[in-house]
Amino acid sequence: MTLIIIFMCALAQASAASGVKVETTTAPGQSSSNEATNAAKDPADWRKFEGLLSHQVQLTLSERFVKAGEAYFNSDATQIVFQAIEYDAQGNPESEYYSMYVAQLRDEGQGQSFEPDQRRYRLKNIRRISPIGSANTCGWFHPTDPNKLIFASTITAPAKQETPGYQRGSRNYRWSFPPEMRVVEVDLSAQEINADSLKTLVGDGKAYAAECSTSLDGRTLLYTTLESGDGDLYAMDLPTKKITRLTAFAGYDGGGFFSPDGKKIIWRADRNADNLLQIFVADVVFDSTGAVVGIGEPIAVTNDGAVNWAPYVSPNGKVIVYASSRVGHDNYELLAVPVPADHAAPLGQPRRVTHAGGADLLPAISHDGKLLMWTSQRGAGRSSQLWLAQMSQNDLLSGELVPPVVQPTATPASTAPITASPTHSTTTPLVQPK
C-alpha cells in the first residue's frame, strides 16, 4: 500500500509546485516502487558529504510510525513536539490524518565519546495529545511556560468539505485546508488530554487557521488563516487577544516564525508565481505598548526558480535554514543562507546542508544552536521520519557570506548547481500590508 503524504503546514505546497510526488511511503513488509530509485540517488555515504552535521540519528522509527515530521524543540531541547501517523495493532495506519505527539528527547551520551554513526539521542515517553481521527499539524512549545503547547487541530474528524474558492494542487496532489482547523492550546501537565482539553485560541470552524508559532517572549501568536481567502499571516497579541493582519499580498503567505529577538518575521510565499514558494523576511512594527501592529517592506531571502520553503531562523538570528528543490524536485535538501541585514544587502550564497536521497525538509534548530532536527526519507523503508544531528563543530550558523559547499561529484542527484540569486528584488510589485 503506497500512501501519498501531505504535510498540511507546508509540504503540500512544495509537492504541488514540483508537479511530482515528493513523498511516498510503505507499510512494513511491503516494497516501494520508489525505493530503488531513491536508493540509486543516494551518495555512497551521505555522512561523508554532510560536513556541516555530525552524529545524524533517526528519532522516529518506521516500525512504529507510518510517517512522522515537522518537529520542534522545547526551550532546553529536552522535549520535542511532532506530527505522525502510528500503526495500529493490526499494522494499519491508525488514522488517515496526522496526530500530534510530544516526547522526551534523551541525550544518552553526555560525558562519553560517540562514533559518528552511533545512536546518542533517543525519544522516550512518546505521548499523543490530539484526539484520534482529528487532523493536526504545526506543534509549538510555549517559550516560557513549559506546560503550555499550541498546535493546529480540527479537534474532531474533518468533514472533508472543500474550502470555497480555494483549491490548489497538481495532477498528483490536492491538499486540503480543512475549515475546522484551528489553533489550540493544551496543558501538558494534565493527566488526560482529550478534545475538551484543547482550548481554541484562533479559528471558528469556518476558515482554516494553522501554521502557528510565537515570539520568544510568548506575547505574540503568529499564524496563517484562509479567512481572507488567500492565505495570510496574522498576529494575535495574547494578553489583549487583539488580532492584526500582517500580509495582504496576492498568493499564500504562511509558515511564519519570529526571529529570536522578536524584531523580524520570516515566512514563505508564492507571490512570484502560483506555488513557486520563496522566503521573505520583514521587520516587525510595534505600537507603544509593545504589541505587534504590522510589518515593514518584505525582503526576499530567496528569489529563483526553485521551491524554497520551511524557513527556520538560527538562535543567533544570523542564518535561515530551509528546504529547497534546487538540487531536484525528487530530492529536496536543506540549505542555509545568511539573514539579509536590509534591502541593500547582497543575497546570501546558499550552503547545502543535507546530501541524502529523497526529501530532507522542515528544519528546526535547538535554542542553544547545537542540534538540527528535520524530516528525512533517508532511513530504512524510505518513509518520512524525524532525524537529528549535531551542529556544534562548524560555522554553519556564523552568518558569514561564504562560498557554497562544493557539490559531491559522486551524487547523481546533484544535477543542478547551487548558485546565488542575483538580487533581493521580487518580480511583482510589493503591496503594503493593511
Nearest to 331 by CA among 382, 373, 295: 382
How many CB atoms are located within 10 Å of the residue 151 CB? 26
Q: What is the smallest separation between the CB atom of 402 and Ca ion, expressed in angstroms?
A: 21
Residues 226 and 184 sit within 8 Å (Cβ to Cβ): no
Q: Which residues contact 245 (CB under 8 A, 6 or more apart)?
A: 228, 232, 233, 234, 433, 434
Q: What is the smallest separation between the CB atom of 409 and Ca ion, expressed in angstroms?
A: 17
Using CA atoms, how far apart are residues 364 and 183, in angstroms rounded to an integer?
20
Q: What is the smallest separation between the CB atom of 5 and Ca ion, expressed in angstroms?
A: 15
Using CA atoms, how far apart are residues 340 and 210, in angstroms rounded to an integer?
27
- With respect to Ca ion, which residue has the nearer C-beta, 411 or 421? 411
Q: What residues make contact with Ca ion under the rule CB under 5 A?
A: 331, 333, 356, 360
- With respect to Ca ion, which residue has the nearer C-beta, 120 or 378? 378
Nearest to 360 by CA among 339, 338, 384, 381: 384
Using CA atoms, how far apart are residues 176 and 16, in angstroms rounded to an integer?
12
State the amino acid at position 368 in one-letter form. D
Q: Is the dihedral of CA 83, 96, 178, 325 positive or negative?
A: positive
The closest residue (CB) to Ca ion is: 360
**Burial call 199-214: b when 16+ CB within 10 Å, e when fewer:** eebbbeeebbbbbbbb
Q: Which residues contact 406 (CB under 8 A, 6 or more apart)?
A: none
Q: What is the smallest separation between the CB atom of 287 and Ca ion, expressed in angstroms?
A: 43
- With respect to Ca ion, which residue has the nearer C-beta, 209 or 307? 307
- With respect to Ca ion, which residue has the nearer C-beta, 26 or 375? 375
- With respect to Ca ion, which residue has the nearer C-beta, 100 or 323? 323
- With respect to Ca ion, which residue has the nearer C-beta, 101 or 387? 387
Burial of residue 10 (number of CB atoms within 10 Å: 0-12, 13-18, 19+): buried
- With respect to Ca ion, which residue has the nearer C-beta, 134 or 331? 331
Q: What is the smallest separation between the CB atom of 100 and Ca ion, expressed in angstroms?
A: 25
Q: Read out DSSP for 308-336?
A: EEEEEE-TTSSEEEEEE-SS-TTS-EEEE
Nearest to 185 by CA among 160, 134, 221: 221
- With respect to Ca ion, which residue has the nearer C-beta, 168 or 378? 378
- With respect to Ca ion, which residue has the nearer C-beta, 152 or 334? 334
